């Protein structure tokens, strides 16, 4: 569904704004590589909270997000004292919301794109320790309200029946 289509709510693509701290700087005096991943993870959690899926709700539903892949591309230095803004765009998602991919971009306070992070993940049932779909009200908001990449793909849920030939 394109941006602005009926039933599709456009949410701000920025989910985190944070100042770079001394503890996040490496020996080269710029943001250490793992701090980029920390900023991206926090932005995803902030995004979930805006959708009404805070840690308490996830604990009650006995589900949590997990990552299969995280790829970071570093484009420009981020220095001590900079403020960063982090986006979270849904790039791909199954129709049931069970698996998803996000493209995240980290911008410096001067507007320069400093890093691009791609993550692929899913929801895990914390009791069964198996992949699951999120609860219906959350799935609906997840699919309708999140900002999307221009090349967003909505994937069908695979048919689990085994064809014997």
Cα torsion 94, 75, 48, 13 to 10°: value is: -90
Domain assignment present for residue 118? The answer is yes
Domain tally for the chain? 1
Domain assignment present for residue 8? The answer is no
Amino acid 4: pLDDT:
44
Domain assignment present for residue 161? The answer is no
Domain assignment present for residue 121? The answer is yes
Domain assignment present for residue 6? The answer is no
Domain assignment present for residue 3? The answer is no
Residue 64, domain CATH: 3.10.129.10
Contact by Cβ (8 Å): 115, 105: yes
Contact by Cβ (8 Å): 67, 41: no
pTM of the predicted structure, to 2 decimals: 0.88
Domain assignment present for residue 71? The answer is yes
Domain carrying residue 30? 14-154
Domain assignment present for residue 4? The answer is no
pLDDT tens-digit profile, the chain (165 residues): 344 444 444 468 999 999 999 999 999 999 999 999 999 999 999 999 999 999 999 999 999 999 999 999 999 999 999 999 999 999 999 999 999 999 999 999 999 999 999 999 999 999 999 999 999 989 999 999 999 999 999 999 998 755 555
Q: Return the structure tokens found at 92.
A: 């791909």
Contact by Cβ (8 Å): 123, 97: yes
């Amino acid at each position: 569904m394109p941006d602005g289509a009926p039933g599709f709510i456009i949410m701000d693509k920025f989910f985190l704004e944070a100042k770079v701290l001394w503890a996040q700087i490496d020996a080269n005096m710029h943001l250490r590589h793992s701090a980029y991943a920390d900023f991206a993870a926090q932005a995803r959690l902030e995004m979930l909270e805006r959708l009404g899926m805070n840690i308490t709700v996830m604990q009650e539903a006995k589900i949590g997000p997990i990552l299969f892949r995280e790829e970071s591309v570093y484009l420009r230095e981020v220095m001590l004292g900079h403020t960063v803004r982090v986006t979270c765009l849904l790039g791909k998602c199954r129709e049931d919301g069970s698996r998803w991919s996000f493209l995240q971009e980290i911008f410096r306070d001067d507007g320069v794109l400093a890093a691009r992070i791609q993550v692929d993940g899913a929801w895990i049932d914390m009791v069964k320790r198996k992949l699951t779909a999120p609860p219906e009200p959350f799935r609906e908001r997840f699919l309708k309200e999140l900002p999307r990449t221009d090349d967003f793909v909505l994937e069908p849920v695979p048919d689990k029946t085994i064809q014997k030939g």
